Amino acid sequence: MLKTREVLEMCRRCYVFKYDNKWHFEKPEHLRDRDPDERIPVRFSQCSACIEEALAIYDMEYI
Protein backbone atom coordinates (compact mmCIF):
# COMPACT_ATOMS: atom_id res chain seq x y z
CA MET A 1 0.00 0.00 0.00
CA LEU A 2 1.02 3.56 -0.56
CA LYS A 3 1.83 5.67 2.42
CA THR A 4 0.68 9.28 2.68
CA ARG A 5 3.88 10.77 1.26
CA GLU A 6 4.65 8.00 -1.22
CA VAL A 7 4.43 8.60 -4.96
CA LEU A 8 2.08 6.55 -7.12
CA GLU A 9 3.83 4.94 -10.10
CA MET A 10 1.93 4.73 -13.38
CA CYS A 11 2.81 3.50 -16.90
CA ARG A 12 2.91 6.38 -19.36
CA ARG A 13 1.72 4.25 -22.29
CA CYS A 14 -1.08 2.04 -20.95
CA TYR A 15 -1.92 3.86 -17.68
CA VAL A 16 -1.65 0.89 -15.33
CA PHE A 17 -0.74 1.47 -11.68
CA LYS A 18 2.19 -0.10 -9.84
CA TYR A 19 1.70 -0.96 -6.19
CA ASP A 20 2.57 -3.97 -4.04
CA ASN A 21 5.46 -4.54 -6.50
CA LYS A 22 3.01 -5.50 -9.28
CA TRP A 23 1.20 -3.74 -12.13
CA HIS A 24 -2.59 -3.39 -11.77
CA PHE A 25 -5.34 -2.02 -14.01
CA GLU A 26 -7.39 -0.97 -10.98
CA LYS A 27 -6.69 2.10 -8.91
CA PRO A 28 -5.40 1.28 -5.39
CA GLU A 29 -8.22 0.72 -2.92
CA HIS A 30 -7.21 3.54 -0.59
CA LEU A 31 -7.32 6.06 -3.48
CA ARG A 32 -10.90 5.19 -4.46
CA ASP A 33 -12.29 6.62 -1.24
CA ARG A 34 -10.39 9.92 -1.44
CA ASP A 35 -11.68 13.24 -2.66
CA PRO A 36 -11.31 13.30 -6.51
CA ASP A 37 -9.89 16.85 -6.33
CA GLU A 38 -7.08 15.84 -3.97
CA ARG A 39 -3.67 15.93 -5.61
CA ILE A 40 -1.63 12.74 -5.56
CA PRO A 41 1.98 12.77 -6.78
CA VAL A 42 2.47 10.43 -9.75
CA ARG A 43 5.72 9.20 -11.25
CA PHE A 44 5.45 7.97 -14.84
CA SER A 45 7.49 5.03 -16.08
CA GLN A 46 6.88 2.06 -18.38
CA CYS A 47 5.44 -1.26 -17.32
CA SER A 48 7.21 -4.48 -18.26
CA ALA A 49 4.65 -5.28 -21.01
CA CYS A 50 5.20 -1.92 -22.73
CA ILE A 51 8.98 -2.30 -22.47
CA GLU A 52 8.79 -5.78 -24.05
CA GLU A 53 6.55 -4.46 -26.82
CA ALA A 54 8.94 -1.60 -27.57
CA LEU A 55 11.92 -3.97 -27.68
CA ALA A 56 10.07 -6.36 -30.03
CA ILE A 57 9.22 -3.51 -32.42
CA TYR A 58 12.82 -2.28 -32.27
CA ASP A 59 14.15 -5.78 -33.04
CA MET A 60 11.78 -6.17 -36.01
CA GLU A 61 13.17 -3.02 -37.66
CA TYR A 62 16.54 -4.71 -38.21
CA ILE A 63 15.36 -8.06 -39.53
In the chain, where the domains are located: 8-60
Cβ neighbours around 47 below 10 Å, total: 20
Instruction: Write the pLDDT tens digit of every residue in 47-63.
Output: 999 999 888 876 666 55
pLDDT in tens, 4-58: 557 899 999 999 999 999 999 998 888 888 888 888 899 999 999 999 988 887 6
Q: What distance in Å separates the CA atoms of residue 29 and residue 13, rounded to the nearest whole number?
A: 22
pTM confidence score = 0.70
**C-alpha dist (Å) from residue 30 to 1, 37, 54:** 8, 15, 32
pLDDT for res 4: 53
pLDDT of 35 reads 83
